[in-house]
Each structure stands twice: as structure tokens, then as C-alpha cells.
Amino acid sequence: MTKTASTLSKFVALVGLCLAVASCDSLSTYVKPAPNDVQAIASAPQTVRLRPGDKAKIVVYGEDKMSGDFEVDANGNVVIPLVGTVHAAGLTKKELQQALKSKLLDEKILRDPSVTVDTAMTRPFYVLGEVEKPGEYTFRNGLDALSAVAVAGGFTYRASKAKILIRRSGESTITEYPLSPDIPVYAGDLISVPERMF
């Protein structure tokens, strides 16, 4: 299966999930309310962890064959030439950096490794519901709920401009937030703009 087909099948599954949720009599079973303090949500540090589909830019100083952009596979691993398989899913960039250093030392591949890890490519985010152009979009740092709606072409005339539904990457529940520029959006998030109640 090609990467495009894999991405498309994930997107279709997400759309199916949203349609299934939207067709229910009550969303209360699937949607939890946001915490009362929206400012706390916006200011809380969000630890970015690698997930399958992310690409990590790994540089082992002085070792070109061990350096490059490596994708986290479906099992959560990166495979690095001369190093082998290293588990990366669920780790921060700093934690992966430490895991690589430890592996290089423990297996006596290098005596004093200098390793840096950065994110080369992150998962997209998805916008569904009452927006002009629902779909998959490239994630950028600093994205918030309002800018995500703007990226998706803005609201339709039926859209609720008071709330937004977000399913965070790696979570199974959907959280209802007040629509605000204080609500951050992260890579892999699924955002749904509900229809307003007349």
C-alpha cells in the first residue's frame, strides 16, 4: 500500500467516525465538555510526542550514514542504518535523542556520540463539519482553533460560531471547546465545526 493510499484510508476512517458521531441522536455519549478555564488550556505546555507517520531528522555528528530523515513506522520504530531499530513512538525529541545516544554507547557503535533530533515532518490535522473546504491540512506551529477554520476556507452559513469539537491525536474522546483563538491545535488533531442550533 502506498503512503498516499494509507493516508487516504486514514482520512476516510476519520470521516466515517465523524459521520457516525454526527448521525447519533445525542453527542453527549461521545463528547466531553472542555475544562472551565480556557486560558489554562492555552497556556498549559503541551508535550509533543512522536507518533507513527512523523518524520524525525536525526543527526549523528560526523556520521553521515547514520544521519537523515527517518519516518516513525506503524510499529512506532525508526530504522537507522548501522544502528538498527529504535523505538520512537511516544517519545519526545529529547527522549529519542537520549535513547539513540544510549544505544550507540551500549552497543559500542560509537565512543562519544553527539546526537540531535528534530521534527522533519509532522502529521497533518483534519477539519470537518461546517467549513467551506473540509479535509486534511499541513500542520504549522502556533495553530489555533480559529486559524484552523480559516485554513479550511472559513465557516459555512450553517456553522456554529460559538463552539468547536476537537479529538486530540491519540485520544478516543471528542472535547467540546468554546470557539476561541486561545484553543491550540496540534498535529494529528481532528477538528469538527458543528451546525448551529436555530
Q: Which pLDDT tens digit goes with each residue over 105-164? A: 999 889 999 999 988 777 889 999 999 999 999 888 788 999 999 999 999 999 999 899
Nearest to 155 by CA among 189, 195, 124: 195
The range of the structural domain enclosing residue 136 comes to: 3-46+123-193
Residue range 7-61, pLDDT digits in tens:
556 555 555 555 555 544 444 455 556 665 555 555 555 567 788 888 899 999 9
Q: What are phi and psi of 42, to 5 degrees?
A: -65, -35
Residue 69 falls within a domain, yes or no? Answer: yes
Same domain, yes or no, for 77 and 172?
no
Last residue of a domain, one of 78, 96, 121: 121
Residue 198 falls within a domain, yes or no? Answer: no
Domain count of the fold of the chain: 2
pLDDT of residue 180: 85
User: 58 by DSSP, 3-state: which?
Assistant: strand
CATH of the domain at 130: 3.10.560.10
